Chain A
Amino acid sequence: MTQPADTAPPPPAPDTEAGDYIRLQGITKKFDTVTAVDRVDLEIAKGEIFALLGASGCGKTTLLRMLAGFEIPTEGSIFIDGTDMGRVPPYNRPVNMMFQSYALFPHMTVADNIAFGLKQDKMPRTKIKTRVAELLELVGMTQFIKRYPHQLSGGQCQRVALARSLAKRPKLLLLDEPMAALDKKLRERMQLEVVNIIEGVGVTCVMVTHDQEEAMTMAHRIGVMHEGQILQTGEPHDVYETPNCRRTAEFIGTVNMFPGNVVEDHPDHIVVNTKDLARDIFVDHGITGSAGMKVWVAVRPEKISLSTTPINAEYNCAAGTVEEIAYIGGTSVYHVKTANGTIIRTAMANVDRKASQRPTWEDQVYLSWQANAAVVLTW
């Protein structure tokens, strides 16, 4: 993207998949010797809710702070609606952020908090009043207009913080761990509520979270980050069902990972031999590779079925004893130990109420899965 400055603006790149309302090009951020963000390219469409997902220290917050303008990228550029944000200071960016624990000004009422940004724009007093009322209505907090932040509950604070960050009609809304300060029950409700409000307003949104459930519930698209790089972007379903690498597969949900070698390579299926299992694994999709190469086969626990009657198939099965059972209400996760010591996790829906009909500790059980259940990963 080295366009001479004097030529006419380049035609918008036809990107049917993502759109480029927000565009990050080769963004790198170094702190002394540590590279927090490493050559990130990202395009986000107008009106999209995009989640940066990763463990703490993966660089997702630094990336968010660069979008807000609190950090200046060491290399690369950020475009918002076609404008290079370059050295635009945070107070001049069309970007607003909802902070992790909201950072509501403690010495201001709810109304003053929401009006703060509007006052900076020198909006007339009467207009501010209307806008504040409008926003309070939007987040359902009209009756709390005169309260101070310390007089509000966590969920109410979040609504006010959301209203405050939407007040200036930003082109980009940033959410930093939006649900981190809420308990689990409230979190689930607020996730949907916040998404409804954001979608209703139509604002483009980038959020940061370490909670994969939160990312999957709230975002249209997810970017999985690790060590400063985005490993994979895609819709929640894609990232979960077809991870492109081991880290993504392991980070999103739980997975059984079998390292092995390709023994048969066909365009429509492959067979993988693994030391972890007595039988080979048959996968119904081809890979770009060759026989003999090292691969990892990922199988989600819920795709493995558990039976007490022996299964004798050529592929995709295993036998073992129940080592551990984690009962989590709707499902139970069984840890099955095979004869050679591999632990395979399988999830079983608790359909009938009687526990006596399910396998229990030390029982001999048999595992199997379909040819389309596994994903082959090459790195």
Chain B
Amino acid sequence: MVKKGLKRWLPSGRATVIGIPFIWLLLFFLIPFAIVLKLSFSEMAVAVPPFTDLIEVAGEQINIRLNLGNYAYLIQDPLYLQAYLGSLRIALFSTLLALLVGYPIAYGIARSSPSVRNLLLLGIVLPSWTSFLLRIYAWIGLLKSNGLINNLLISLGVIDAPLHLLHTDLAVFVGIVYAYLPFMVLPLYTNLVKLDMRYLEAATDLGAKPWKTFLFITLPLSRGGIIAGSMLVFIPAGGEFVIPALLGGPDTLMIGKVLWEEFFNNRDWPAASAVAIVMLTLLILPIIWFHKHQSEEMHTP
């Protein structure tokens, strides 16, 4: 009796397996998100913590004060709009660049003999074993005026004066493409390695030259990998802070940087929260689209 009663209250194996990620997301995503959301509706205060409470209990009254000022401020000050657009632009370009660089790499690995495949994949992942920050610092060494690239070009006689590479948008693109390339290559590889060679042979047999086979068969059939890889690069690139801060110039305007300044320099937690909420909403739209695409993919094997 007791055992039976206990059993009714204990979750089944299935519920446990599904429950664990739910609890994880609840604890580490949903609750922090709620806190940030709450913060974005509060006002800045010279206090610890530096914001006012939303809910005030005064005698028999409960006052809830929602301050929309932070959001209004985001619209009024053109800096934020520019920063959002700047982030979007940089994320979009870097994703495109990562795709252009990553696709041939993924294709090459997928077509290589199975014995070297894992070695090549390891080569893609290996740089991630060192600190992210360290690798970005390394790029400073490469890109700076008396850095490796400039010195090499000068000693070869290609250029006379050092090129201004560091602290430009170009440096940011290079940094993002470099840092997020594995996230582009891996999903593309998993997709391309599964590609049935018979489709390519069938296309060739029907008269398609190699590049047409690629265009009409390989490319459309790897759509899932392209979308997954692009999402994995685009989303973190959009919110990137470290790379624009270290490699970008003073006019590299990205929302991650703005958010940092709002939070640490201005100590305006509510405004920083509002920036984060808007950013999240902007990024969640492509995720929803991606999710929808994936479920469609599942229905059309």
Residues of A within 8 A of B (CB): 68-70, 89-92, 95-97, 99-101, 103-107, 116-117, 120-121, 148, 150, 164-165, 167-168
Contacts and interface: CB of A to CB of B under 8 A. Distances in A.
Q: Interface residues of B: mostly helix, strand, loop or mixed?
A: helix
B198 A168 contact: no
B208 A116 contact: yes
Nearest to A101: B198
B207 A68 contact: no
Nearest to A65: B201
Contacts of A106: 199, 221, 300-301
A150 B301 contact: yes
Contacts of A99: 198, 201-202
B206 interface: yes
Nearest to B212: A120
A164 B206 contact: yes
A140 to B, nearest CB: 22
Nearest to A97: B205
Interface string B206-246: 11110010001100110100000000000000000000000
A105 B202 CA distance: 9
Contacts of A92: 207
Given A101-B198, A106-B199, 7 more contacts: A96-B205, A97-B202, A99-B198, A103-B201, A105-B202, A105-B217, A168-B206
A92 B209 CA distance: 9
B301 A105 contact: no
Given A99-B198, A105-B199, A107-B221, A90 B300 contact: no
A338 B39 CA distance: 96
Nearest to B201: A70
From A91, A97, A167, name the one whose CB has the most chain B CB atoms within 10 angstroms.
A91
A91 B209 contact: yes
Contact of B207 (A101, A105, A120, A150): A120
Contacts of A95: 205
B207 to A, nearest CB: 4
Interface of B: 196, 198-199, 201-209, 212, 216-217, 220-221, 223, 300-301
A378 to B, nearest CB: 42
A288 B198 CA distance: 48
Given A107-B221, A148-B300, A90 B205 contact: yes
A96 B206 contact: yes
From B196, B198, B220, name the one whose CB has the most chain A CB atoms within 10 angstroms.
B198
From B201, B203, B205, B223, name the one whose CB has the most chain A CB atoms within 10 angstroms.
B205
Q: Which 4 residue pairs across A and B have the least CB separation, nearest first? A: A117-B206, A120-B207, A103-B198, A103-B202
B204 A90 contact: yes
Contacts of B301: 106, 150
Given A105-B217, A148-B300, A150-B300, A91 B204 contact: yes
Contacts of B209: 91, 120
Contacts of B202: 97, 99, 103-105
B221 to A, nearest CB: 6
Contacts of A148: 300
Contacts of B217: 105
A91 B206 CA distance: 6
B206 A120 contact: yes
A105 to B, nearest CB: 6
Contacts of A117: 206-207
A103 B204 contact: no
A70 B300 CA distance: 30
A328 to B, nearest CB: 35
Nearest to A122: B207
B205 A91 contact: yes
B199 A103 contact: yes
A116 B216 CA distance: 9
A100 B207 CA distance: 19
